Structure 1
Amino acid sequence: MRRVRAATVTVLRGVLLGVVCGALLAPASAAAVSPSGPAAAYRTAPDAKPVHGAASSAEGPRLRPGTYTDTVSAGERKFYRVMLDDVSNAYVSAVLAPPPGSPVGATDGVRIALESADGEKCSVSNDVTFGSSTARPVADYATRRIGKGRECQAAGDYVYSVEWIGSGAGSGARDWPLELKYMTEPGVGDGAQTPAPSSWATRPADPVTGAAKGVDGGSGFNDAPAVGHGVWKDRLSPGESRFYKVPVEWGQQVFLDAEFAGTATGRAASVPDGLRLTLFNTGRGFVKNAATGYRGGPSEVSLGTAPAAFANRTSPRDDTGAMRFSGWYYVRVSLDQRIDTALPLTLRVGVEGDRVEGPAYTGDAVAAGFGLSDEDRAAAQAGRASSGSGTGNSALYKAVGYTGIGLGTALVLILAVWTLLARRSRGRHVRQPLPWEPRAH
């Protein structure tokens, strides 16, 4: 009997050690994608500073490069001040992120503008609207670009404004979250070569195939997980938007396919434009949008871009002009709130084209947020956030949670077996210590 019990102890020790090691060494990407719950609220940047825009352009708080939080209500216009130099391109973005489920109209949103102190517009004002009756985080930027013959070239104080627009279902909006981000792109040296692509493919050379990796999309720009070229799986609830970020080098194009599974019955109310796919650039500027209806069966929505090139910023086409950076590009996939069930998503990400040399910046573009580090590139292949890119580590947290559950279950089973053996041999042998208990010497 003692030999049997000794063997049992050895086996149990091996089981426990195997469970611990296996659970701790399992990669986060192996964690199963859990069913979606209600849409998550937009997660602001952990280092964002709260500010309060003023009702007068003369009194707005000053923004320096960084991220800020504020709120906006229907009928409001808020002003901020931005100090610009005379060598850097400036991008000041606004993310409007109403609480999930808030009533909105298609034309509700905000108008953003960057102007000189005497009212000269640095670029065309942009309207940031929802485009449907589903509340989702929406974003775009206002810019000041350095260039001969352009406006706002002098260094000095400039005015950035965010103004509520629309008169639809969102007209009762109160204190909806705003996230503002001010980024400065270094200038380029005199005579720097910035060639524009002369032509490009409108479809990927080959379909993106391979084993799909599970990934949990983020609530916005700050917690979006990195996804590289390949196939990714997630799940969206009605009314939910999920964000992912894709690394794009100079000379590369992005092709995206979002495939949604059908419902169990194959029947659902027809929802025009119920599935949306949107791309934003490194500065959170709008690049391109695609949408398709949903009727209960499998559905797909796709988009493709021009190659990333510095010279694209002079293009008359907005979607080409937005492909003006290398760095992270952000994908938003949205499910209309009128769709009555959660849907599995397969996201095919195609990043195509050879990496080419970028412009000769006069400063560190990567440090300013325009470009990619080696860590960023590695993160995109693993489907995780790099250390400097936000908090998109939900897959890791989920793996840790599963590890805890697995360890707890294993320990309960070990204790149950040990107790049974002890009861059978009670009274015939002296109790032996449990595998983790100290032995007497």
Structure 2
Amino acid sequence: MALAVVTLTGQPALADGTSGAYGFASDDQPVTGASTTADAQLLVPGRTYKSSLPADSDVSYRLDLDATSNAYVSVTAVPRAGTLVTATDGIRVTVRDADSRSCSVESAYVGPSRSPRPVVAWGSRETAARRTSCQGEGRYYVVVHRIAGTSSTPDDWDLELAPFLEPRLEKAVGTTPTGSTGSTGSSGSSGSSDSGSLDPLTGPAVPRSGGSGFGAAAAVEQGVWSVDISPGQTLFYAVPVGWGQRIGATAELGSTRRGGYMGGALNMALYNPARGPVDDVNLGYSGSQKSASLGSLPPVDYANRYASLGSVSGTRFAGTYYLALHLAEGMGEEYGTGPYEVTLRVRVEGTAEAGPTYDGRFEPPGPFEAAAGPGRGAAGGGEGGDGVAGNDGNDAVMTVVAAAGLGGGTLVLAALGVWTAVARRRAGGAW
């Protein structure tokens, strides 16, 4: 089924990820990572930055935080195409307070693909009564460390840094994650709603090119999507997920000639609205069709942050969730340059509910305001629904994706509906 796409002015159209290179945002600000915290440059929440990471030294950046907001910094490390990486190459992101006490430590690795791909880890400073360190207003530091394998290429990696602020709640909510038995979180979803992985959608696939980075992620909703991807390429998709909804996804790599087995031939990763890792899965391949699905994820709920399991605690925000697909460079040597067809089946279960009330707005607000509001269920991009998704709340831009065959009047009405939503957002309303 062909697509008719209407792009509203205010932001460039989505990039299509036709190159294997990571798509840094055009408004990324250059920042130099310091070798010591004393020289660390400031990261301002709401902006994104481009930097670099040497193979043999740490780099530090500074955050100036208030006493009440939760702060997150997502770090995307990009090995350069054609360089040698191992499964254990990666990064470690540490957030520390002014007394060098650790607020968080998170690591991420290239994995079994052994293919240069974006590696994402995040750090956080969370305000909580049970903590004694990392509380209060003041200076905090983000330290990025390169975890280098013994046989990998010792060159610099590029970095994209994205800091976010989450305001405090107007009143406290429960601290039991929705994945726990019998719990009821801030959105009112009970733990029993998390009953295993979601079944993949069926039906014909709609062609949908992916974006080359977080900032250019292609907007999709629930549906079945056909993706062309080349060896070494990473494609990004943005999916709105509301409070009380849960997301599932399956990636299928089509058959080609028989060849040697490749572990990690296709990687699919899920990230939350603060670009924090939620879950990922690797698909082994030997030439016949294979599929891989994300694990069982809970409904989005504020209380999920208190879970010990990362795939639960990562689903703490409503908003834009990102799916990233990476096809290993080695596929080109074993099976040819492609491109290869991947079928991406995205499912969003449940109707979006009212979430907790924040005392302020996220910074930047866009990724956290892209989800459906109360009373609006998951639209079916591949099963008859018109997909509407926003990619950047700082600009009044959305893309209306409508199945071919819709009348011109229907498409105009859809566009007018999006303009209404934009106006409501600018006035401070939900959509």
* TM bucket, shorter chain: 0.7 to 0.9
Q: Which residue of 2 aligns with 1:42?
A: 22
Q: Which residue of 2 aligns with 1:321?
A: 313
SS of the residue corresponding to residue 209 of structure 1 reads coil
Q: What amino acid is aligned across from residue 81 of structure 2 in structure 1?
A: P
Q: Which residue of 2 aligns with 1:143?
A: 124
Q: Which residue of 2 aligns with 1:181?
A: 162
Counterpart-to-counterpart distance in 2, 1:90 and 1:391:
25
1:106 touches 1:131 (CA, 8 Å); kept in 2? yes
Counterpart-to-counterpart distance in 1, 2:388 and 2:231:
24
1:222 touches 1:389 (CA, 8 Å); kept in 2? no
1:161 aligns with 2:143: yes
Counterpart-to-counterpart distance in 2, 1:319 and 1:332:
16
Q: What amino acid is aligned across from residue 27 of structure 1 in structure 2?
A: A
Which of these residues, 276, 280, 283, is aligned with residue 271 of structure 2?
280
* Structure with larger Rg: 1
- Judged with a 3 Å threshold, the aligned counterparts in structure 2 of structure 1 residues 274 and 179 are, in CA distance, closer, same or farther, namely same
SS of the residue corresponding to residue 122 of structure 1 reads strand
Q: Which residue of 2 aligns with 1:27?
A: 4
1:260 touches 1:299 (CA, 8 Å); kept in 2? yes
Counterpart-to-counterpart distance in 2, 1:354 and 1:366:
26
Q: How does 1:216-235 map onto structure 2 within 5 Å?
A: 216-235=209-228
Which of these residues, 322, 325, 336, is aligned with residue 328 of structure 2?
336
Q: Which has the higher strand share?
A: 2
Counterpart-to-counterpart distance in 2, 1:168 and 1:51:
28
Cα deviations by residue, 1:183-242 (Å, 9 ceiling, x for unpaired): 0011101344674342312132x5413332211111121111011001111111122221
1:126 aligns with 2:103: no
Aligned length: 361
Q: Which residue of 1 aligns with 2:81?
A: 100
1:296 aligns with 2:287: yes
Q: What amino acid is aligned across from residue 252 of structure 1 in structure 2?
A: Q
Counterpart-to-counterpart distance in 2, 1:120 and 1:179:
25
Cα RMSD of the aligned pairs, angstroms, is 3.0
- Judged with a 3 Å threshold, the aligned counterparts in structure 2 of structure 1 residues 348 and 203 are, in CA distance, closer, same or farther, namely same
Q: Which residue of 1 aligns with 2:233?
A: 240
Q: Which residue of 2 aligns with 1:348?
A: 345
TM-score of the two chains, using structure 2 as the length reference: 0.77
1:52 touches 1:61 (CA, 8 Å); kept in 2? yes
- Judged with a 3 Å threshold, the aligned counterparts in structure 2 of structure 1 residues 190 and 111 are, in CA distance, closer, same or farther, namely same
Q: What amino acid is aligned across from residue 264 of structure 2 in structure 1?
A: D
Where does the alignment leave 5 or more consecutive residues of structure 1 unmatched? 1-25, 30-35, 397-441
Counterpart-to-counterpart distance in 1, 2:397 and 2:203:
23
Q: Which has the higher helix share?
A: 1
- Judged with a 3 Å threshold, the aligned counterparts in structure 2 of structure 1 residues 389 and 216 are, in CA distance, closer, same or farther, namely farther
TM-score of the two chains, using structure 1 as the length reference: 0.75
Counterpart-to-counterpart distance in 2, 1:366 and 1:242:
25
Cα deviations by residue, 1:230-277 (Å, 9 ceiling, x for unpaired): 1111111122221111111011111101111101xx312211221221
- Judged with a 3 Å threshold, the aligned counterparts in structure 2 of structure 1 residues 374 and 143 are, in CA distance, closer, same or farther, namely closer
Q: CA deviation at 1:390?
A: 9.0
Q: What amino acid is aligned across from residue 227 of structure 2 in structure 1?
A: D
Cα deviations by residue, 1:110-135 (Å, 9 ceiling, x for unpaired): 21110011111112x11122113101
Q: CA deviation at 1:383?
A: 7.4
SS of the residue corresponding to residue 320 of structure 1 reads helix
Q: Which residue of 2 aligns with 1:63?
A: 43
Which of these residues, 141, 144, 152, is aligned with residue 170 of structure 1?
152
SS of the residue corresponding to residue 172 of structure 1 reads coil
2:72 touches 2:164 (CA, 8 Å); kept in 1? yes
1:80 touches 1:159 (CA, 8 Å); kept in 2? yes
Q: CA deviation at 1:369?
A: 4.0
